[in-house]
């Protein structure tokens, strides 16, 4: 592959450099976690100015392809796992499978509790109503990525207390195939938060590390709220795509 920029091309130098660096990452020449050469070496390698190199690196960092560590240097980043805030409603396993990733679930808690005022509001039930609580840790390729707590009305799905949801089993698949409960829509909010001690422990990160919090309520066709879930995704390993659709007035 070429290593010098084409000075006769209409493509800006920094874009050419970005693509050449990306080629080396994709080919495995520069592997995930490997440190990139410093800016002076990159300038010499591509025969361009430091300004061009910095522009190229800024673009790669923006695309989550490299990560800069203060005082250490620039490293090839692990590809972030994509989630979507507007798309066909699927569970975590289906979402990861669409990206060619293998997702595994570990169940931390699976019990019956009395709902708090906050969760009762989400599920439109009285405070103290019995709920099934399922706390799960989701792994992708053996790395903990998401800690999620789901709450469902016990009266609608009492069998959930004993259902095996370990491994690659899907809660949504159980609700639909075993109980005939098809989730038709969901309402989600997203927020940036810092990891508390519990979350840091299970996600194998430092306390106060950045997390992406999703709060969601899922509804059946008759608009009955069936699930409230609270999920924290590792900020260093996750990103979300938003689809915008223009409404016709």
- Domains of the chain, start order: 13-76 (1.10.10.10), 81-241 (3.40.1410.10)
To the nearest whole percent, how much of the chain has pLDDT over 70? Answer: 86
Residues 135-179 pLDDT 10s: 999 998 788 999 999 999 999 999 999 999 988 888 988 999 999
- Taking 80 as the threshold, does the pLDDT of residue 10 lie above it? no
Write the CB contacts of 226 (distance below 8 Å, at least 6 apart in sequence).
Answer: 152, 153, 156, 157, 175, 181, 183, 218, 219, 220
Q: Which residue has the tokens 């979402």?
A: 95
Residues 40-83 pLDDT 10s: 999 999 999 999 998 889 888 877 788 888 888 899 887 765 55
Mean pLDDT of the chain: 84
Residues 108-145 pLDDT 10s: 999 999 999 889 988 989 999 999 999 999 998 788 99
- Taking 60 as the threshold, does the pLDDT of residue 89 lie above it? no
- Taking 90 as the threshold, does the pLDDT of residue 90 lie above it? no
Residue environment code for 81-99, b if the CB has 16+ CB neighbours within 10 A, otherwise e: bebeeeeebebbbebbeee
> Rounded mean pLDDT of 197-212?
93
């Amino acid at each position: 592959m070429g290593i010098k920029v084409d000075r006769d091309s209409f493509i800006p130098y920094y874009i050419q450099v970005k693509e050449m660096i990306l080629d080396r990452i994709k080919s495995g020449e520069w592997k995930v976690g490997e440190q990139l050469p410093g800016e002076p070496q990159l300038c010499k390698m591509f025969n361009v100015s430091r300004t061009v190199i910095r522009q190229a690196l800024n673009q790669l960092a923006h695309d989550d392809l490299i990560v800069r560590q203060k005082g250490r240097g620039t490293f090839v980043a692990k590809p972030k796992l994509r989630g979507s805030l507007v798309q066909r409603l699927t569970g975590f396993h289906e979402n990861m499978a669409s990206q060619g990733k293998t997702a595994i679930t570990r169940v931390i808690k699976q019990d019956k509790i009395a709902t708090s005022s906050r969760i009762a509001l989400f599920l439109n039930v009285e405070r103290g109503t019995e709920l099934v609580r399922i706390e799960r840790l989701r792994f992708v390729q053996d790395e903990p990525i998401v800690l999620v707590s789901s709450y469902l009305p016990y009266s609608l799905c009492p069998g959930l207390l004993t259902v095996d949801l370990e491994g690659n089993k899907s809660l949504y698949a159980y609700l639909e195939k075993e109980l005939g409960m098809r989730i038709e829509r969901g309402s989600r909010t997203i927020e940036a938060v810092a990891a508390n001690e519990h979350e840091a422990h299970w996600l194998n990160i430092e306390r106060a590390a950045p997390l992406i919090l999703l709060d969601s309520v899922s509804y059946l066709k008759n608009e009955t709220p069936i699930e409230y879930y609270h999920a924290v995704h590792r900020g260093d390993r996750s990103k979300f795509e938003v689809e915008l659709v223009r409404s016709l007035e």
